[in-house]
Amino acid sequence: MGIRYEDFLDTAYEPKESDLVCSFYLEPADGISWNGAASRVASESSNGTWAELDVEGSVEDLSATACAIDEESGQVTVAYPDALFEPGSMPQILSCIAGNIMGMKAVDRIRLLDCKWPKKLVESFPGPQYGSAIRTEILDAGERPATATVPKPKVGLNTQQHATVGYEAWTGGIDLLKDDENLTDQSFNPFEDRLIESLAQRDAAEDETGEKKSYLLNVTASGNEMLERVDMAAEHGCEFVMVDVVTTGWGAVQQVRERCERHGLAIHAHRAMHAAFDRIPTHGVSMRVIAQIARLCGVDHIHTGTAGLGKLANEDTRGINEWLQSDCHGLTDVLPVASGGLHAGLMDQLLTELGTTIAVQAGGGIHGHPDGTHAGAVAFRRATDAAARGESVENAASDCPELARALEKWGTETPR
């Protein structure tokens, strides 16, 4: 039989329950019709090419179908048969649905907007171990947002300074100390020393406050090194690892997830570099899909932005968070992390927008407090608790001088 790209279009096709259904935004190139663009996308992302092929066998079972085109919104739906995919392999899936098509000349722009994941494919992934339950299973946060801080400057503190910042923040009321995305194992703050010193301070802070504390240790590295760092985290009694999931790559994230299961470690996903894929709204892969991928691969936390309140550009934080907490064939949920330019004065608005099933993370908004890290942590925690109870942050400042100072400094400013 002959296979031509035109054969990948059938607007009468009703996706099957077992299909992976993807929505794309498209801008066909000059001289290419909507039908031509949509069919080429379905072809190139499954088993077609530009030339007509003569093959025998069941290749049609592996062909995707462009089954809906809405020229007005630019949206095209493509349904992929599940046999096209290797179960449990996120790299293979992405090489289909977000692979060559991102650079096809037949489309000027193409963005993978959303996926409807079928049960069998979802069940081939582990999903998160804890998700939002980390608030009670690892921390003592109950129903309130978990609070986290990343020492600033993001690199350059030595190990002792880093651990001391941790102690100050933990004893000020913060639940989680977090490494920054570009802090791994550098000479000024080596990985294992930092792990040991930080956990010693964590233990001291737990004794002092009577609250559970934990450390989001950045294990990002290449190959076996990353797995060895996961093992080290577990051996020293850490409950979390942090991975820069986009720069590391999904195959490696899957390996980390497997290793973490062995140790019962939770995974905090930092998404540095996501904006290379999702910032231009007409091209790339949406943050919504990146978050879906992360959930399937099994991270427990992922950064999803600040609903526009912080320093970084965000896409639909609220919608993404809702997806992360909605049912997806029984997968555990993910605790979304709001971060990037947050401070105490923004907590009212943030929690009104995003609710309390989140983690809130502040770096500059804690360590830039006029009276230092400890006061910054007290202010941030007090503001978070107040906002979570529906009390205004301003009102809470009346009996918390640290919070009053933070509000004096930053008010409700949105940093840039």
Ligand X SMILES: O=C(COP(=O)(O)O)[C@H](O)[C@H](O)COP(=O)(O)O
Residues 260, 241: contact at Cβ < 8 Å? yes
Q: Minimum distance between the CB of residue 150 and Mg ion, rounded to whole angstroms? A: 6
Give me the residue whose beta carbon is nearest to Mg ion.
180
* Among ligand X, Mg ion, none, residue 340 binds (CB under 5-8 Å by kind): ligand X
Report CA-CA distances (Å) from 254 to 127, 269, 280: 10, 12, 27
Question: Mind giving me the DSSP string for 303-369?
Answer: E---TT-SSS--S-HHHHHHHHHS-STT----EEEEESS--GGGHHHHHHHH-SSSEEEESHHHHTS
Chain center to CA of 55: 41
Do β-strands 146-149 and 176-178 pair in parallel, antiparallel, or remain unpaired?
parallel
- Closer CB to ligand X, residue 178 or residue 259? 178
Report CA-CA distances (Å) from 75 to 24, 34, 142: 6, 10, 41
Give me the residue whose beta carbon is nearest to ligand X.
363
* Among Mg ion, ligand X, none, residue 111 binds (CB under 5-8 Å by kind): none
238: its two tokens: 């850490």
- Give the H or E element holding residue 76: strand 75-80
- Closer CB to Mg ion, residue 202 or residue 268? 268
Residue numbers at the binding site for Mg ion (CB under 5 A): 180-181
Q: Minimum distance between the CB of residue 251 and ligand X, rounded to whole angstroms? A: 21
> CB neighbours of 292 closer than 8 A, spacing ≥ 6?
115, 117, 323, 328
* Among Mg ion, ligand X, none, residue 362 binds (CB under 5-8 Å by kind): ligand X
- Closer CB to Mg ion, residue 168 or residue 180? 180
Burial of 263 (0-12, 13-18, 19+ CB in 10 A): middle
Q: Minimum distance between the CB of residue 180 and Mg ion, rounded to whole angstroms? A: 4
- Closer CB to ligand X, residue 40 or residue 288? 288
Q: Minimum distance between the CB of residue 232 and Mg ion, rounded to whole angstroms? A: 22
Question: Which residues is 343 bridged to in the sheet?
Answer: none
Say which DSSP state 297 is in.
H
Question: How many residues are listed for the chain in this entry?
Answer: 416
Whether 283 is catalytic is no
Q: Minimum distance between the CB of residue 69 and ligand X, rounded to whole angstroms? A: 33
- Closer CB to ligand X, residue 302 or residue 331? 302
Whether 311 is catalytic is no
Report CA-CA distances (Å) from 231 to 222, 238, 306: 15, 10, 32
- Closer CB to Mg ion, residue 180 or residue 385? 180
Residue numbers at the binding site for ligand X (CB under 6 A): 150, 152, 154, 180-181, 271, 303, 305, 311-312, 339-342, 361-365
Options 162, 178, 268, 270, the catalytic residue: 270
Distance between CA atoms of residues 279 and 283, nearest Å: 8
Q: Minimum distance between the CB of residue 229 and Mg ion, rounded to whole angstroms? A: 19
Catalytic residues: 152, 270
